[in-house]
Amino acid sequence: MVYPGVHKENPAVEKINRTTTGRILLAFLSAALSVFLGAAPAAQSDEDCLACHGDKDLKSETGKRLFVDQAEFQVTIHGQGGLSCVDCHADLRKVADFPHNSPLKPAACKDCHEAAVQQFARSIHQAANERGTSGISIGCKDCHGTHAIKPSDDFDSSTFAINLPATCEKCHLEKVPSKKGAGFIGGYNLSAHFKALEKSGLTMSANCGHCHGAHDIKGVGDPLSSVSRKNIIKTCGTCHVGIQRGYLEGVHGIDYVKGIKDVPVCTDCHSEHNIISPEDINSTVYATKVAQVCANCHDDMALSRQYGFLTSRLRTYNESFHGTAARFGETRVANCASCHGFHDIRASSDPKSSIFKANLPATCGQCHPGASRHFAEGLIHSAPDQVQTAKYGTAHVVKEVYIFIIAAIIAVMVVFIAADFLRRVLRKEKHG
Amino acid sequence: MDSAPLIRDEEIFLRMNLAERVQHWVLISSFLLLILTGLPLFFYDVRFFQLLLPSGQSFYVRGIVHRIAAVVMIANVIAHLLYTALTRRGRDNFKEMLPRWQDVKDAVGLFGYNIGLSRFLNKRGIGAKFFKRHPYWLFERHPLYGRYNFVEKFEYWALGWGTFVMIFSGFFMWNVELSLRFFPLWVHDIFIIVHGYEAILAFLAVIIWHMYNVHLNPEVFPMSKVWLNGKISGKELRLLHPLEYEKILEERRKILSAEAL
């Protein structure tokens, strides 16, 4: 079965396994190779190998099973193509003494899968192999398996879209966790992407490979990585085309294109692996939680000074009925996105912006039917020190006056009561 | 001297009749409900209120309860206005409730009496001339009150003013679209501020001023029971409302002398 769309956009996945011509070519090449090698004197036939390795109980000195299931191999693409043992186990081609020395070198995938092996050589996996500090060495077989390798469009392949997360998580759940913490990668298993993949079998839903690539996976800090800040918009945009377009038209996208690093990208708001629907209460962009996400930057003093935007957005929102209600879990009140939009947020000076003065009645009118032009005559985020139109700040003056009056009245009451109470107590002592 | 006093200490007078007590009970319950469902908006960070309203649904119900309590309070205000205008007793009470210059003098007088500074100074001979000419400022005696003293009048009129402000601003907060058809947003913002801070003022005034005067005050501790049974004894009348006591006494004397004639 071939699933159109799977890996289509990912050049890192080898095409040779998938196309019919590729299969024919592979069969031809391996046949030619075996003819050529057959002429060499010390070449081993599969029968020679299976003389020992066909024994189900064959074990090494350390107890490792050495049995090779020929039936299993023969139905694989490599088996059907007629590859013999030594085609891959190249270091045994010229060995005549048996049992041969062990361990063997890794299989020679490169002879056929040159592009993939070259890509792998530039990957973070190979870099880790070379560093050698993790104690783990990773190669082709760790993801693709050994004798029973199946093409990635096969349901049972370890690299089939639905199976790939489990393959990567063999190492990345526990053995090699992310620097961002143990649960960081496992969060993917809670994501909307994984749910679509596992529950609904939507193979076009993002798995590890869609975002990170396959053979040439790079660290997130590497500018060449598909998940670096530089590339993440394009990577998510591979599937979320409309959102990418909207984002690039908004203030964040415009600055992103300019190369400003502080600008939020997809993952800053939606999180990385654990991306879930905004309707899910655990989502970072759930109606009652999105304000906190925006405030990460918009209440940041340093960023506000650097880029010239106003702070106190979260505080002024929280103090409003909208924000207060949201804090108590009411989802039907306006949050940041209700008024500002989300992917294509525009500046209030932009006539296309939902908060452009002339558009405010329409924006507020989404919830307040028949909203009049008066909705625009005031400040929504009204921080006392940021009010430029005097009358718009009247409420703050009223507030100050009230605080003074309340303090004065309560103080007078307390003094009055204290005097009364003390006199009565004193009098009681005198007379009683 | 009469052998039997005209007002015996055990005699029972009706200070609050049933209609007045019902008005007070309805006021207490609607006020408490309004405070309980309104304060969370002001103190949204306080843990108690977050426990009280753990979900969006409970917050929604809070809003409904607040509006119901508001309607009840408004109905109570209307009932009180009708009662005051249409009944004899209501009109009499209202006349007694009108603020007078004497109330200011009483307030100053009580405070001065409680502090006792003037008496202390006079004893030491300081300002003796001034005190001789203006004995009021000596605050030698506790002021004598009529049916309603300055404390009660202050409460009544503060409540009246506060209720008006709360109903007015609350009405426009309830009907945002209507409010913004008449007023610009910055005026609506003032309604919101006023509603919140007036509520705080009312809440503090009640728990400090009213609770002292009807509960903690040693005169009535632990609680004046007038709000429950409406009754006040002849002794209490004589001690707490001496001018009203005198007035009743005077009326009875007149009746008595009329009978004697």
Shared domain for A350 and A407, answered yes or no, is: no
What is residue A7's predicted lDDT score, i.e. its pLDDT?
A: 42
B89 CA to chain A: closest CA distance, Å?
A: 31
Task: Please write the tens of the pLDDT for every residue from B112-148.
Answer: 999 999 989 998 988 889 999 998 998 989 999 999 9
Task: Please write the tens of the pLDDT for every residue from A58-109.
Answer: 888 788 888 898 888 988 889 988 888 888 988 888 777 777 877 788 888 9
In a domain, B30, yes or no: yes
Strand partners, B231: B14
Q: pLDDT tier at B194 (50, 70, 90 boundaries)? A: very high
In a domain, B118, yes or no: no
Shared domain for A361 and A414, answered yes or no, is: no
Q: Which residues of A touch B205 (CB under 8 A)?
A: 409-410, 413
Shared domain for A292 and A404, answered yes or no, is: no
Q: Is the pLDDT of residue A40 over 80?
A: no
Chain A interface includes B184 (CB < 8 A) = yes
Q: How far is A70 from A288, CA to CA, in rounded Å?
A: 58
Contacts of B250 (CB under 8 A, 6+ apart): none
Task: Please write the tens of the pLDDT for every residue from A284-340.
Answer: 999 999 999 999 999 999 999 999 888 889 989 999 999 999 999 999 999 999 999
Task: Please write the tens of the pLDDT for every residue from A117-148.
Answer: 999 999 999 999 999 887 888 999 999 998 98
**What ipTM was estimated for this complex?**
0.91
Shared domain for A299 and A411, answered yes or no, is: no
Shared domain for A268 and A379, answered yes or no, is: yes
Q: Is the pLDDT of residue B103 over 60?
A: yes
Q: Which of B177, B181, B213 to mutate to test binding with chain A, by most A CBs within 10 Å of its CB?
A: B177
In a domain, A60, yes or no: no
Q: Which amino acid is at B48?
A: F
Mean pLDDT on B32-39? 96
A405 CA to chain B: closest CA distance, Å?
A: 9
Q: Which of A391, A393, A419 sits opposite B115 (nearest CB)?
A: A419
Total domains in chain A come to 2
B165 CA to chain A: closest CA distance, Å?
A: 13
Contacts of B76 (CB under 8 A, 6+ apart): B23, B26, B27, B30
Task: Please write the tens of the pLDDT for every residue from A237-286.
Answer: 999 999 999 999 999 999 999 999 999 999 999 999 999 999 999 999 99
Chain mean position to CA A244 = 15
A372 and B181 within 8 Å at the Cβ level: the answer is yes
A375 and B185 within 8 Å at the Cβ level: the answer is yes
Neighbours of A251 (CB within 10 A): 18
Q: Which residues of A touch B58 (CB under 8 A)?
A: 328
Q: How far is A105 from A346, CA to CA, in rounded Å?
A: 58
In a domain, B187, yes or no: no
In a domain, A8, yes or no: no
B186 and A378 within 8 Å at the Cβ level: the answer is yes
A417 and B54 within 8 Å at the Cβ level: the answer is no
Please write down the HEC assignment for all residues of chain B: CCCCCCCCCCCEEECCCHHHHHHHHHHHHHHHHHHHHHHHHHCCCCHHHHHHCCCHHHHHHHHHHHHHHHHHHHHHHHHHHHHHHHCHHHHHHHHHHCCCHHHHHHHHHHHHHHHCHHHHHHHCCCCHHHHHHCHHHHCCCCCCCCCCCHHHHHHHHHHHHHHHHHHHHHHHHHCHHHHHHHCCHHHHHHHHHHHHHHHHHHHHHHHHHHHHHHHHCCCCCCCCCHHHHCEEEHHHHHHHCHHHHHHHHHHHHHHHHHHHC
Shared domain for A281 and A394, answered yes or no, is: no
In a domain, B21, yes or no: yes
Q: Which of A289, A327, A355, A374 to mutate to test binding with chain B, by most B CBs within 10 Å of its CB?
A: A374
Q: Which residues of B touch A327 (CB under 8 A)?
A: 44
Q: Which of B44, B48, B178 to mutate to test binding with chain A, by most A CBs within 10 Å of its CB?
A: B44
Chain A interface includes B171 (CB < 8 A) = no
Size of interface A-B (CB pairs under 8 A): 128
Q: Which of B110, B184, B197 sits opposite A377 (nearest CB)?
A: B184
In a domain, A375, yes or no: yes
Shared domain for A400 and A370, answered yes or no, is: no
What is residue A427's predicted lDDT score, i.e. its pLDDT?
A: 80
B177 and A370 within 8 Å at the Cβ level: the answer is yes
Task: Please write the tens of the pLDDT for every residue from A391-421.
Answer: 898 999 999 999 999 999 999 999 999 999 9
In a domain, B234, yes or no: no
Shared domain for A365 and A410, answered yes or no, is: no
Shared domain for A309 and A361, answered yes or no, is: yes
Task: Please write the tens of the pLDDT for every residue from B76-95.
Answer: 999 999 999 999 999 999 99
Q: Which residues of A touch B118 (CB under 8 A)?
A: none
Total domains in chain B come to 1
What's chain B's average pLDDT?
A: 93
Q: Which residues of A touch B192 (CB under 8 A)?
A: 321, 395
Shared domain for A298 and A403, answered yes or no, is: no
Angle subtended at Cα A90 by Cα A85 and Cα A94, rounded to the nearest 5 degrees: 95
B110 and A420 within 8 Å at the Cβ level: the answer is yes
Among A42-46, A254-258, A421-425, the least confident range: A42-46
Q: A203, A161 in Cβ contact below 8 A?
A: yes
Q: pLDDT tier at A1 (50, 70, 90 boundaries)? A: very low
Domain of A399? 390-424
Domain of B73? 17-97
What is residue A16's predicted lDDT score, i.e. its pLDDT?
A: 44
Q: Which residues of B touch A363 (CB under 8 A)?
A: none
A378 CA to chain B: closest CA distance, Å?
A: 5
Phi, then psi, of B13 in degrees rounded to 5? -110, 150
Specify the higher pLDDT residue, A94 or B44.
Answer: B44
A394 CA to chain B: closest CA distance, Å?
A: 7
Percent of chain B's residues with pLDDT above 90: 81
B37 CA to chain A: closest CA distance, Å?
A: 12
Angle subtended at Cα B96 by Cα B30 and Cα B18, rounded to the nearest 5 degrees: 45
Chain A interface includes B41 (CB < 8 A) = yes
In a domain, A274, yes or no: yes
Among A25-34, A384-393, B161-170, B188-197, the least confident range: A25-34
What is residue A101's predicted lDDT score, i.e. its pLDDT?
A: 77
Angle subtended at Cα A355 by Cα A349 and Cα A359, rounded to the nearest 5 degrees: 100
Mean pLDDT on B179-201? 96
A374 and B60 within 8 Å at the Cβ level: the answer is no
Task: Please write the tens of the pLDDT for every residue from B151-188.
Answer: 999 999 999 999 999 999 999 999 999 999 999 999 99
Mean pLDDT on A169-173? 91
In a domain, B68, yes or no: yes
In a domain, A59, yes or no: no
Residues 57-86 of B with CB under 8 A from A: 58-60, 62
Angle subtended at Cα A179 by Cα A146 and Cα A221, rounded to the nearest 5 degrees: 90
Tokens standing for A380?
A: 């929504």
Where do we find the tokens 């009358």? Answer: A391
Shared domain for A331 and A369, answered yes or no, is: yes
A330 and B59 within 8 Å at the Cβ level: the answer is yes
Chain A interface includes B188 (CB < 8 A) = yes
In a domain, A374, yes or no: yes
Q: How far is A150 from A157, CA to CA, in rounded Å?
A: 5
Q: Is the pLDDT of residue A9 over 80?
A: no
In a domain, A71, yes or no: no
In a domain, B45, yes or no: yes
Q: Which amino acid is at A295?
A: A
B190 and A332 within 8 Å at the Cβ level: the answer is no
In a domain, A371, yes or no: yes
